[in-house]
Every structure is written in structure tokens, then in C-alpha cells.
Chain A
Amino acid sequence: MQWGLALATLVLFFTIVGPWLVPHDPLEPDYRALYAAPSFMHLLGTDGLGRDVFARTLAGGRVSLVIALTATCVTALLGTLAGLVAAQLGGRWDAALVRIFDALLAFPGFLLVLLVVAALGGGTVQTILALGVAGTPLYFRLVRGFARTARDLDHVQAARAIGAGPLRTSLRHVLPTFLGPLTVQLATTAAGFLLVEASLSYLGLGVSLPTPTWGNVLQDARALLMRQPWAALGPGLALGMSTLSLQLIADGIRDALDPKRNGTW
């Protein structure tokens, strides 16, 4: 957990402050320094347009993290809302929602993202939307399950008995009972979205150039793999550190919630 938070702080520090520390514009080409090897000037060398790979990695982090984190919020919000509504309303509404989300869940997630991005076109907002839609069914199922269990808890029943409305009951009394496990899932989802964004960009379907994202910088590095393997190293490392920190945080929260699990990973 401490490691996770430390790593996350490091990643955030570099992606937020980093671009100001590097003396290169991630978008500024330098036609006299194409395909440069790593040096003091260019820590990770330059790409085919003479742009600093290190600067692009840092700038790419901003975009990638914003996409992954925003999409996580979108998906959690939609899924939680639908899940709470289903659990609260029950009956036919519940059945219909379950049906819809089960259908979406039966769709291989990556394929769903691929099709949505293809239909909407590549771009930051489109990618966020695609990821958000693809993640929703999981949250729906999770939250609905939790909420149904919580319905029967004493204090929730008590709240309803003294006349709390369904909205108030859901948000004030039901939601808090499973905020912990939900947070664990959020961290895991964000890590997963980072990886999916990278894969999308690798397939040429993600955020379009020249905007750097970790996926885009890795995709550029692919063409240079044999000449400049280091170009794939930087963004790979940054991406790996981010997903790792999120996973460690998720594990940490899980351990804190469930003392029995201490020492397992």
C-alpha cells in the first residue's frame, strides 16, 4: 500500500510537473536531430520527427491518465447509478436492467471498446466514452449485488422505516456499506483502462496523433524497435509503474478492509 501510494505520487509528480522540467516541447520537431540516441540532452533519444521521447512520455502520461481516470469515473458513475436504481426499484425494472447489462457483459470487453471507438472515431472523448460504456456492466452487477445485500441490513431497514425516501436511503445508507470494495474495483479498473488505451492506440484506433499518449508513444516506438529499443522502454516503464501503483493501492485497501487477508497478495 505504502509502495503503491509512493509510486502513484511519483507518477503523478512526473506527469503533472514533469513537462515543465524538461526543456523540450513534446510537439516541437527538430529536423537536425532525427532518431537521436539517448544523451544528456535527450534522455530517451528522439523520434522520427526529432521530438524528445522523454518529453513525449511525460506529456503522454497526462493524456493517458486523464483518459483512464475519467473513464473510470464515468463507468463507475453509470454502473453505480444503474445498480442502485435496479436494487431500489426491484421487480420488472430490475429484471430489464439485469437483462440489458448481462447482454453487454456477454460481449468481450475489448471487442466492445474496439467497435465503439471505430464507430465514434478516434479521440480523447471518444476513447473515454468507449471505455466508460464497456466497464459499466461490471459495476452494475457489483453494485446491484452489494445493494441488495445492504437492503436487508438493520440500519438500512430502520432508515426506511422512519420514512427516508429511496434516493436518501440509497445514497446515505446503502452506498456507504460497500464504498470500500468499490474503491478497490475503481483502482483495478483504472489500471485496466490504462492498458486498454495503450492497446487501442497500438492498433491505431485510439487518440490520434500528434497528441502523445503512452499508447501513441509506444506505437511510434514499435517502428523503431530494432534500431532504438530504448524508445519503447520509457513509456513502457511509466505505464507499468502507473498500473502497478494502482494495483498495489487496490491490494492495500483490500487488506485494510479484510484483516484476515493480511499477508496475501
Chain B
Amino acid sequence: MVAFLARSLASLAVTFVMVMTLVFVAMEALPGDAAMLRSGIDASAAATDAARRELGLDAPVIVRYAQWWGDLVRGDLGDSFRERRPVTTILVERLPVTGALALAAFSLSVVLGLGLGFLAGMTPGSRFDRGVLGYTTIGLALPEFWFGFVLLLVFAIAWPVLPLIGLPDGGGAGAWLRHLTLPAITLAIPRAAQLARLTRATVLEHRQADWVRTVRAKGGPASLEFRHVAANASPGLFAPIALEAGGLLTGTIVVEQVFGLPGVGAMLIGAIGARDVPVVQGATVLAVLVYVAMNLLADVALAAGDPRAREA
């Protein structure tokens, strides 16, 4: 297991270097000029040159690449072109919003997905099963922002019980909860659907296993069958759940836009538009770290459950 972990970590490190290089190259390739954006539409050529020097954009690419890695290793993500503050500060400021949203959406999709999938799997062909089928079909057929529209329309406009925009200006946990409800549901809809499908399939598979049939044939109580299936189906679902968690961060990009939430995703979109390279890099570092960590977790979970997986 230790050797497996070491191997995974080493390969992840290589992955990380490649990915970050890719980000650097992508940002270099971006058309548009951060110095011009920085100095503004009416700025003179001298002012734009001054801005270019200030942003450190006058150095050759290779020097900037080396510098960037040097800073990154020291935990310094550089200063935002636009905000003139350290990217780490900005990330720390925005992470709570995205984190809270992701956590709420994650809990919701796990509870909903496992619950619906399990119950549907235990009662195949029932009306409930067909209802879940309907939900998962629709939930996976439309982009999440469209569900955001519908939720806004219903719960914030037609029947205004929840706020239109994402961020409370104070008001404590209660206000936060109210403001995060619609975004979290939006984010959870396709994810819970995905998980419900997977759970149902896994449950069905295990119900067909010999020993479960034995329990059923012997007339054991339904709760016993329930317990057996749940206990055996759960480990297999752990990896997909971990992967789901890793991907949540990118899901927040669109949802934050729909609800006007000032999180990491909104920051990334704004930074792409403004050619704020350090911020895009910072957001990517964060997303990749989370994603990679969750991948690792999934690998470990798989390996723990199945020794054969450690070989690959």
C-alpha cells in the first residue's frame, strides 16, 4: 500500500508540473494585452509601457516561466494584475463562498443520489423507480444553468421565497443558508442524478448476487436484505463520489455566474476576460489540486477495496 501511494503521488507530481506548464502556455497564447487593460482605454503609450513594466510583462517568456515556478514552490502565486494584491489573499477571500456552495451541493447530491438510487434499486419497476428514472433522465439532459433559470423563475420571481442573488451582505448563517439554497440545488441536480443511476445499478447488481437471493429465498426480513445490499454496494460507490467532489469546483464556475456569487469561479471568468494571468493560474492551481487530491482518494479507495487495482 505504501509503495502504491508513493507511486500515485509521484505520478501526480508529474501530472501537476505538466498541467501547470499547460496553463502557462495557454495564458501566453491568450490574445489581448494585460498592460493595455491595466492602463485603460485613454492611456498614453508611455502609461501602457509603465504598466507593462509594473506587471513584469517586459521580461522574456522563459524568465517569467522560471520565476513563476520559483514563486509557486514558495507558495507565492504572484499578484493579481487587476487587483494589485496577492492571488493567495484573493483566493482565501473567495474560497469560503465556493467552498460553502460546493459543500452544500456535495452533501445534497450524495444524500439525494444515494437515497434515490438505493430505494429505486430495491424496488425495480415500481412507480418510485420510474419516477427516479424520469428525474435522472431530465437531470442529465439539460445544462445546469438552465435548471438555475427555472429555479430562479419559480422560487425567486413567481413565488419569491428565496433571494435572487447569491451573496448576503451580512446576516449570519441563516442568511447564507437561504442564499445558497438555489445555487446548491442547481449544482446538485445533475450530480445527484448521475449518482442515483450508479447507485441503482450497483444495488441491482448486488441484489442478484447469490447470497442476497439466499437471504430473500429463506424469507429473511426485508431489513436484513436492505442491510446486506447497502453494506456491499457502498465501497464501490466511494470512488465515484470522490471523483464527483473533485469536479464540483468546475461546476461552480457556471452556477456562480447564474446567481452572481463572488466565488472562485466568478473570479476565474472575470480574470480570463481581463487577461489577469496570475489569477487564472491561481484558480487553476487550486482546481487541479482539489481534483488531483480527490482522484488520489478515489484511487486509494479502489485499491483498498480491491488489491488488484494496486497493480495497474
Contacts and interface: CB of A to CB of B under 8 A. Distances in A.
B204 interface: yes
Contacts of B257: 202-203
B92 to A, nearest CB: 20
A265 B125 CA distance: 11
Interface string A226-259: 1001001000100111011001000000000000
A195 B142 contact: yes
Nearest to A117: B272
Interface in B74-118: none
Given A109-B250, A265-B133, A118 B204 contact: no
Contacts, number: 122
B181 interface: no
Contacts of A115: 22-23, 26-27, 272, 280, 284
B250 A226 contact: no
Range for the number of chain A residues in contact with chain B: 35 or more
A195 B145 CA distance: 10
B254 A103 contact: no
A119 interface: yes
A111 B284 contact: yes
B253 to A, nearest CB: 7
Contacts of B200: 264-265
B254 A202 contact: yes
B263 to A, nearest CB: 14
Interface string B147-176: 001001100010000000000000000000
Interface residues of B, number: 52
Contacts of A199: 143-145, 254
Contacts of A239: 141-143, 146
A118 B26 contact: yes
Interface in A95-131: 99-100, 102-104, 106-111, 114-116, 118-121
Nearest to B204: A264
Contact of B250 (A104, A110, A229, A241): A110
Nearest to B254: A199
Among A111, A191, A240: residue with most chain B CB under 10 A:
A111
B250 A202 contact: no
Nearest to B31: A121
B133 A119 contact: no
A99 B125 CA distance: 44
Interface of A: 99-100, 102-104, 106-111, 114-116, 118-121, 191, 195, 198-199, 202-203, 205, 215, 218, 221-222, 225-226, 229, 232, 236, 239-241, 243-244, 247, 263-265
9 contacts: A103-B14, A103-B19, A106-B288, A107-B291, A115-B272, A198-B145, A202-B143, A215-B143, A240-B138
